[in-house]
Structure 1
Amino acid sequence: MKFGKELRSQMVPEWEGAYVNYEYLKTLLKDIQHYRQLHVPPPPNPPGLTRRLSLYRNFSGLTGLKVPNSPTTSTDRTDQDIERQPILVNAVKRPNGEDGFETTFLADREDGGEYELVFFRRLDDEFNKVVKFYKGKVEEVLKEADELNRQMDALIAFRIKVDDPEHSWFETSAAVDMNQLASAAATSAAVLSTSLSSGKKSESKRSGDHMEIIDEDRSNGRSNNRPAPLEILDRVKINSSVDTPLSTIKVVLQVPSQNELKFSNDNLQKVEGQLRTVFIEFYYKLKLLRSYSFLNTLAISKIMKKYDKITSRSASRSYMRMVDNSYLGSSDEVRRIMDRVEISFIKHFANSNRKKGLKALKPKTKKQKHGVSASLGFFVGFTAALILALILIIRSRQIIEKEGSKKYMETMFPLYSLFAFIVLHMLMYAANIYFWRRYRINYSFIFGFKVGTALGYREVLLLSFGLAVLALGSVLANLDMEMDPKTGDYKALTELLPAGLVVLVIAIMICPFNIIYRSSRYFLLTCIFHCVCAPLYKVLLADFFLADQFTSQVQAFRSIEFYICYYTSGNYRVRENNCKSNDVYNTFNFIVAGIPYWWRLLQCLRRLFEEKDAMQGWNGMKYFATIVAVTTRTAYTRNNSTEWKVIAWISSGVAAAFSTYWDLVHDWGLLNRKSKNRWLRDKLIIPHHSVYFGVMGFNVLLRLAWLQTLLDLNFSFLHKESLVTIMASLEIIRRGVWNFFRLENEHLNNVGKFRAFKSVPLPFNYDEAEEEDEN
């Protein structure tokens, strides 16, 4: 793999703009190479040789041997090397007032030197950009490490109070086993300011020695600013987080929160669990930051070697010496903090078990298993075979022309169409995952999946085709169109197959055993529960994203309602039901159609009051308009009067226009006429602009699929239930396309703000006012 592709594959997607633009620098080198090929002839012989070497002398090892009696000393050779250097790199004050480096190209008067001068100016800009970003991120982790120190002090004191509440003794060494993660924070300002100006490793070493002295002073208890161990608890409170229905209700009712410390084992386990998660996320951030430093240093080294090769100069040594002495190459704060995090995590959260601690801190990336691909191929083939068998049986038996086909379409077809909706949605999600990965959209971070547990598109395809095999098998087993002449009804066992399949799917979803991707199943169940309980839970992206998926599964909700009615009030043995004439069923048919939109409306209201964002209010109005449109369309299907038709047309038109505008402008970030990509965004992931315009037209077209309800379209070759299923499937396909561009826009927003890590709440909250008074 070429380095450019390797660099792109290993970089943090949200930090892509902060890396060295390796490909752009390569294009500048190609310009230099092209000019030199046209205007600068290559030297006839290698430098320093006056005649062509024989083949024997090249392989004899005699070339380049030192001459014992050579009059040139090592000092003379060093001076000559310095004189031959084509560049000088100096630390300067940049026009924006920041420290940086600037390369002076000494051969700019040579033929083609202007191309090389441009190359070094762009290289300096890229390097200074990297150093500035890295320096800012290191400052952030030093502050976070300092906060983790205080959290660990409070945790250790909390443990002592829980284990032995009657004594106030404290083992000093236990409190300082953290080794003070951010002990470097006290001297970080000096290190950051001197590393750019001096560029000496010795100063970094001295700062490291100073950090060790601070550690020793604090471990011996001689720090004046360090509070007495158990006195920490006097200024600490438990952070109250509104993440449960009860806590939300208390906030609405303005019930004062009880955030005082309660020294119990349950609270201790909660605090330890929170801090454990914080440590893992912090360590992951440090790993990515160290990788960032290494990859950019390697990229600069690679590009300078290419420059030397093209120009036959020796500039890489001087430039890389500057890189090594810069803050990017000489700073070791990240490595020091990583070591201390490992030591502290292993002792306090892994019971001093190093293997267990490192396994938790360094989760292994999920590897593709050959068994998944093999099983996927088996189920795909099985599905194709079942579909072919189903077609052949229908044609050979002429089932469509039989008398019982109408009853089948009105009873059994709506039952099995539920699985068609689910499988189609899973197939679209698998396609989304494939294209998200292809275009490096960090969907696992955006959704908040735990590292190493996010399903790939192969796993989702395996689940979808597995469900398709079960559903098609049930259809083939239950394809009878005529009653048994002896019993006068259909086979009870086969008639119960759809309900049994639903029960099986629910049982798999809630199965507590670690099979069939338990972590993903539980994540989905948690999001579903949050949607159902809206607005009692804080709205996360995964929650409202899933609720949006439900808005495209209205017909699936109606199928579930039909399941309940058919198997409880109807006589399924003879495929008869009185659901459509049942007033309760018809009433709930109105309610069920609006449930997904109601969930989204409540989520928008929660975000409106919590985030004070007016756009959430307008978004809620969109879903309210959709609820009105769905309700009026349902009423029109029940009562084909002119009044209901006019009301349905008006409400549906308003909802469709509102929703289409919101999809394109807010969810996708498109239709920006002032953008450099007219009517699109400034930043696009897909290189072909025609894709965006085509998708916008496709979205508008499928948004108008509801027209078939109001136009009373009837096709002689399609049953009414088949037409409803096709229209519902088109909406699922539209939602699948929407998913990709919605997450693309979210990813670009994260990239613009360099957000690559999820925010984990800390368990303890220090009273800053008391600390300032004491200091």
Structure 2
Amino acid sequence: MKFGKEFGTQMVPEWQEAYMNYNYLKTLLKQILLFRQRPSVSDKVKSTSKASSLRRKGSLFRAFSGLTSHTSKNDKQDEVIMISTMQQPDEEQGEEYPRYQTIFLKSLEEGGELELIFFRRLDNEFNKVVNFYRTKVKEVVKEAKELDIQMEALIALRIKVHHRTDADVTPLTFETNTGSNPLEVIQESKVSEEHQVIKLKDANESRMASLEVLNRIKINAAPETPISTMRSVFNSLNLDLNYNRNELKAAQQKLKRAFIEFHEKLRFLKNYNFLNQFAFSKIMKKYDKITSRNAADTYLEMVEGSYLSQSDEVAKLIARVEATFIKHFSNQNRDQGMNILRPKAKREKHRVTFLVGCFFGCSLALIVAIILSIHTRDFLKSEEQIQYMNTIFPLYSMFGFFVLHMLMYAGNVYYWTRYRVNYSFIFGCKPGTELRFKEVLLISSSLSVLILAAILTNLEMDLDPNTQTYKTITELLPLGLVTAVLLIAICPFNIFYRSTRYFLMACLWRCICAPLYMVTLPDFFLADQFTSQVQLLRSLEFYVCYYGWGDFKKRDAQTCSDSSIYKTISIFIAVIPYWIRFLQCVRRYYEGSDSTQALNGLKYFSTIIAVVSRTVYDQRKGTTLKIIAASTSGIATIFSTYWDLIMDWGLLNRSSENPWLRDKLILPNRSIYFIAMIVNVILRLAWMQTVLDFTEASFLHRNALTAIIASLEIIRRGIWNFFRLENEHLNNVGKFRAVKTVPLPFSYEDEDKDL
């Protein structure tokens, strides 16, 4: 792999703009090379033979550069560049920092203008890299000081909690064998009600830890639960520091996550430093090769003497963070601590690729078998066709919606990976647990094999006269399939991507409990997926009705279709996803994190009114209801489309560098964005099939048309997913946000935070 591609793949995606623009500098070098190769064809023909014959001989008479030194007495005569350093003030921080400028000494030669442009751009890139690195180093040093204070408070809290537990023991001595108490030996040298001093004895250090810090802090580590949220609403939650083991455990977990994220940021900075230094070395060596000059040594000497190479704060912080983490959070187990801090990269497994191909092949074979079974027995013309579409089809179509959604998500993951959208960071997945597109395809393809096999078995048992006595068992196949999928989803064993399953279940629980939990991006992203799976939720309702009321024994869904309770519940089922999103918007607005959430909540409220009016019209008909359904749906569609294109996708910006798009785009072809906007508007109008009575078309069964409309909405959601996460990624890039912000467990009453 060429260095340019390797350089691009190893960049931190959110810091891409801060890296040296290697490709552009390489383009400038290509222009210099083309200029130097400018002689006419006749000159080339005359000089080719002579140059080829003298090239090797000429190299034999070049000056010897020496074995111990790269410089010679005549090097000053061959100087190409000189580096000057000037102090430039930093307006934000009120400090001065050096700015490097290269003086090109051969600018009067032919083609020197191009080389002068190259060095100017090279200086800009180098100063950009050094300034960014300096800024980030200052940030991590400031964060390190904050973590120092947090660790002092945590250790004091640990001592206080254990002292309260064993208050009758004086002096106190604890021997640590577990990770709950990180101190090897703790001896109490002085005890009083107002002041306690604990002497810490370690193999490497001996210092005094004061418990006075507990008088100036408040604990923020109480786990968020629906009960705690309700208490905070009624202002009955005591925010004072409570010395108990549960809060100690919660504080320790928060601080542990903070150390993990801080270590990751340090590793990003270390990698950023190394890659950029290596890139400057490569580009200067390429310059020397093209121009036959000797400028690389001078320039790289300046690079080595700059802050980029000389600063060692990051390396020292990495060592200290690792030592602290191993001592205080890994029970002195270095291997365990380093596995947490430096997780191994997830490797591609060939068996996943093989199984995906195998399952897709089986799925195609089953589809062909189902089509042949229906065609050979004239099932579409039989009397059982209507009965089958009213009962069995809704049961299996639910799985079809789920598989289609998974296929769209697999496509999203593929393109997110291809265009380096950091979806695992945006979703907050643990390193190494995110599903790649092949793994998503494996889940969807294996599930499709189960579904198609059950459908084929169901058809064969229905159409075969020898199995007519087993109709009850035939009807139980969909229920068995649902049971199997649910058991796999809640399986406690570490199989079938347990971390992902539990992550989704945790997000689902927070969605159900909205607005009692703080809303994160995975929560409202999952809730948005359910707004496009209303028909799947109605299929679940049909499962409960069909099997709960015993209609499966006679294959007749008349009880469900004629029940007023079933119809009323159907309205509530359709509203639930939008109501969850509305409550999430209310919670985010209440927290003050985003003032636009009030309008977003209004958007979902308008959608709730539109869904209710369309469902009522679909059940009762009537001109008045039709007008209400059409008007409310039209308003909701305009509102939602505006929000999709402008707020969620960040498009339709007239003053953008890319007219009617946004300043930064990931996809190279701009027309794709306009196509996506048009498709989004068209698919948003799928509700018109309800108002215009397309469901009554004679050429297609009502349930089949409903399934098609629901599939179009799932496809629209899949398109929305890509551009929504693309916009989120670009926002992170604009703020250079590459690691998660973890709330610290302790806050301080004073502003200076000096303990």
Mark yes or no: TM-score above 0.5: yes
**Alpha-carbon offset, residue 170 of structure 1:** 9.2
Structure 2 Cα separation of the partners of residues 122 and 719 of structure 1: 66
Q: What does residue 110 of structure 1 align with? A: 109
**Alpha-carbon offset, residue 335 of structure 1:** 0.6
Structure 1 counterpart of 2:505, which letter?
A: L
**Alpha-carbon offset, residue 94 of structure 1:** 4.0
Structure 1 counterpart of 2:612, which letter?
A: T
Structure 2 counterpart of 1:366, which letter?
A: K
Shift of the 376–74 alpha-carbon distance from structure 1 to 2, 3 Å rule, reads: closer
- With 242-251 and 129-138 compared, the bigger mean Cα shift is at 242-251
Q: What does residue 508 of structure 2 align with? A: 528
Structure 2 Cα separation of the partners of residues 293 and 636 of structure 1: 63
Q: What does residue 162 of structure 1 align with? A: 161
Shift of the 39–493 alpha-carbon distance from structure 1 to 2, 3 Å rule, reads: same
2:87 aligned residue (86, 89, 93): 93
Count of matched residue pairs? 713
Q: What does residue 632 of structure 2 align with? A: 651
Q: What does residue 120 of structure 1 align with? A: 119
Structure 2 Cα separation of the partners of residues 382 and 67 of structure 1: 69
Q: Tell me the secondary structure at the aligned position of residue 580 of structure 1.
A: helix
Structure 2 Cα separation of the partners of residues 67 and 505 of structure 1: 73
**Alpha-carbon offset, residue 688 of structure 1:** 0.8
Aligned ranges 1:643-682 → 2 under 5 Å: 643-682=624-663
Structure 1 counterpart of 2:239, which letter?
A: Q
**Alpha-carbon offset, residue 513 of structure 1:** 0.8
Shift of the 726–51 alpha-carbon distance from structure 1 to 2, 3 Å rule, reads: closer
**Alpha-carbon offset, residue 360 of structure 1:** 1.4
Say yes or no: does 1:34 pair with 2:34.
yes
Paired residues of 2:157 and 2:243 also in contact (CA < 8 A): no
Paired residues of 2:150 and 2:746 also in contact (CA < 8 A): yes
The CA RMSD measured in Å over matched residues stands at: 2.9
1:82 aligned residue (60, 76, 86): 76
Structure 1 Cα separation of the partners of residues 532 and 162 of structure 2: 53
Shift of the 303–707 alpha-carbon distance from structure 1 to 2, 3 Å rule, reads: same
Structure 2 Cα separation of the partners of residues 327 and 427 of structure 1: 48
Q: What does residue 703 of structure 1 align with? A: 684
Q: Tell me the secondary structure at the aligned position of residue 596 of structure 2.
A: helix
Q: What does residue 411 of structure 1 align with? A: 391
Structure 2 Cα separation of the partners of residues 253 and 711 of structure 1: 49
Paired residues of 1:490 and 1:573 also in contact (CA < 8 A): no
Q: Tell me the secondary structure at the aligned position of residue 670 of structure 1.
A: coil
Scaled by the length of structure 1, what TM-score is found? 0.87
Paired residues of 2:462 and 2:468 also in contact (CA < 8 A): no
Say yes or no: does 1:604 pair with 2:603.
no
Paired residues of 2:161 and 2:243 also in contact (CA < 8 A): no
Say yes or no: does 1:763 pair with 2:751.
no
- With 547-556 and 356-365 compared, the bigger mean Cα shift is at 356-365
Paired residues of 1:528 and 1:543 also in contact (CA < 8 A): yes
- Measured against aligned partners, the alpha-carbon deviations of 1:384-438 in whole angstroms (never above 9, x if no partner) come to 1110100000000111111111111001100110000000000000000000000
**Alpha-carbon offset, residue 154 of structure 1:** 2.2
Structure 2 Cα separation of the partners of residues 66 and 124 of structure 1: 28
Structure 2 Cα separation of the partners of residues 670 and 67 of structure 1: 61
Q: What does residue 13 of structure 1 align with? A: 13
Query: Matched residues, percent identical?
Result: 53
Structure 2 counterpart of 1:248, which letter?
A: T
Aligned ranges 1:494-533 → 2 under 5 Å: 494-533=474-513
- Measured against aligned partners, the alpha-carbon deviations of 1:584-619 in whole angstroms (never above 9, x if no partner) come to 101101111111000001111111111263311111
Paired residues of 1:242 and 1:538 also in contact (CA < 8 A): no
Paired residues of 1:405 and 1:481 also in contact (CA < 8 A): no
- Measured against aligned partners, the alpha-carbon deviations of 1:420-469 in whole angstroms (never above 9, x if no partner) come to 00000000000000000001100000010111100001111111111111
Aligned ranges 1:416-565 → 2 under 5 Å: 416-479=396-459, 491-565=471-545
Structure 2 Cα separation of the partners of residues 90 and 169 of structure 1: 63
Q: Tell me the secondary structure at the aligned position of residue 478 of structure 1.
A: helix
Structure 1 counterpart of 2:743, which letter?
A: P
2:338 aligned residue (347, 355, 358): 358
Scaled by the length of structure 2, what TM-score is found? 0.89
Structure 2 Cα separation of the partners of residues 555 and 409 of structure 1: 15
Structure 1 Cα separation of the partners of residues 538 and 753 of structure 2: 59
Q: Tell me the secondary structure at the aligned position of residue 491 of structure 1.
A: helix
Aligned ranges 1:328-339 → 2 under 5 Å: 328-339=308-319
Structure 1 Cα separation of the partners of residues 483 and 148 of structure 2: 50
Shift of the 733–638 alpha-carbon distance from structure 1 to 2, 3 Å rule, reads: same
Structure 1 Cα separation of the partners of residues 75 and 467 of structure 2: 103
Paired residues of 2:218 and 2:239 also in contact (CA < 8 A): no
Structure 2 Cα separation of the partners of residues 519 and 176 of structure 1: 32
Structure 2 Cα separation of the partners of residues 682 and 594 of structure 1: 37
- Measured against aligned partners, the alpha-carbon deviations of 1:706-742 in whole angstroms (never above 9, x if no partner) come to 1111111244331111000000000000000000001
Q: What does residue 203 of structure 1 align with? A: none
1:723 aligned residue (699, 702, 705): 705
Q: What does residue 348 of structure 2 align with? A: 368
Structure 2 counterpart of 1:82, which letter?
A: K
Structure 2 Cα separation of the partners of residues 144 and 654 of structure 1: 48
- With 671-680 and 89-98 compared, the bigger mean Cα shift is at 89-98
Paired residues of 1:277 and 1:760 also in contact (CA < 8 A): yes
1:401 aligned residue (363, 374, 381): 381
Q: Tell me the secondary structure at the aligned position of residue 614 of structure 1.
A: coil
Paired residues of 1:176 and 1:219 also in contact (CA < 8 A): no
**Alpha-carbon offset, residue 575 of structure 1:** 0.4
Structure 1 Cα separation of the partners of residues 667 and 598 of structure 2: 31
Structure 2 Cα separation of the partners of residues 527 and 708 of structure 1: 33
- Measured against aligned partners, the alpha-carbon deviations of 1:608-640 in whole angstroms (never above 9, x if no partner) come to 111263311111111111111111111111112
Structure 2 Cα separation of the partners of residues 542 and 760 of structure 1: 16
Q: What does residue 207 of structure 1 align with? A: none
Say yes or no: does 1:732 pair with 2:714.
yes
Paired residues of 1:242 and 1:537 also in contact (CA < 8 A): no
Paired residues of 1:175 and 1:229 also in contact (CA < 8 A): no
**Alpha-carbon offset, residue 219 of structure 1:** 5.7
Say yes or no: does 1:635 pair with 2:625.
no
- With 415-424 and 710-719 compared, the bigger mean Cα shift is at 710-719
Structure 2 Cα separation of the partners of residues 727 and 252 of structure 1: 42
Q: What does residue 238 of structure 1 align with? A: 219
Paired residues of 2:228 and 2:237 also in contact (CA < 8 A): no
Q: What does residue 202 of structure 1 align with? A: none
Shift of the 668–487 alpha-carbon distance from structure 1 to 2, 3 Å rule, reads: closer
Paired residues of 1:107 and 1:113 also in contact (CA < 8 A): yes
- With 128-137 and 574-583 compared, the bigger mean Cα shift is at 574-583
Shift of the 442–665 alpha-carbon distance from structure 1 to 2, 3 Å rule, reads: same
Q: What does residue 379 of structure 1 align with? A: 359
Paired residues of 2:461 and 2:468 also in contact (CA < 8 A): no
Q: Tell me the secondary structure at the aligned position of residue 686 of structure 1.
A: coil
**Alpha-carbon offset, residue 484 of structure 1:** 9.2
Q: What does residue 349 of structure 1 align with? A: 329
Paired residues of 2:461 and 2:474 also in contact (CA < 8 A): no
Q: Tell me the secondary structure at the aligned position of residue 101 of structure 2.
A: strand
**Alpha-carbon offset, residue 3 of structure 1:** 0.7
Q: Tell me the secondary structure at the aligned position of residue 237 of structure 1.
A: strand
Q: Tell me the secondary structure at the aligned position of residue 688 of structure 1.
A: coil
**Alpha-carbon offset, residue 156 of structure 1:** 2.4
Structure 2 counterpart of 1:122, which letter?
A: R
Structure 1 counterpart of 2:331, which letter?
A: N
Shift of the 732–66 alpha-carbon distance from structure 1 to 2, 3 Å rule, reads: closer
Structure 2 Cα separation of the partners of residues 234 and 176 of structure 1: 22
Structure 1 Cα separation of the partners of residues 752 and 65 of structure 2: 73
**Alpha-carbon offset, residue 243 of structure 1:** 2.8
Runs of at least 5 residues in structure 2 that lack an aligned partner in the other structure: 91-95, 175-180, 185-201
Shift of the 251–160 alpha-carbon distance from structure 1 to 2, 3 Å rule, reads: closer
Structure 2 counterpart of 1:732, which letter?
A: I
1:312 aligned residue (273, 286, 292): 292
Paired residues of 2:12 and 2:268 also in contact (CA < 8 A): yes
Q: Tell me the secondary structure at the aligned position of residue 241 of structure 2.
A: coil
Shift of the 515–771 alpha-carbon distance from structure 1 to 2, 3 Å rule, reads: closer
Structure 2 Cα separation of the partners of residues 74 and 276 of structure 1: 50
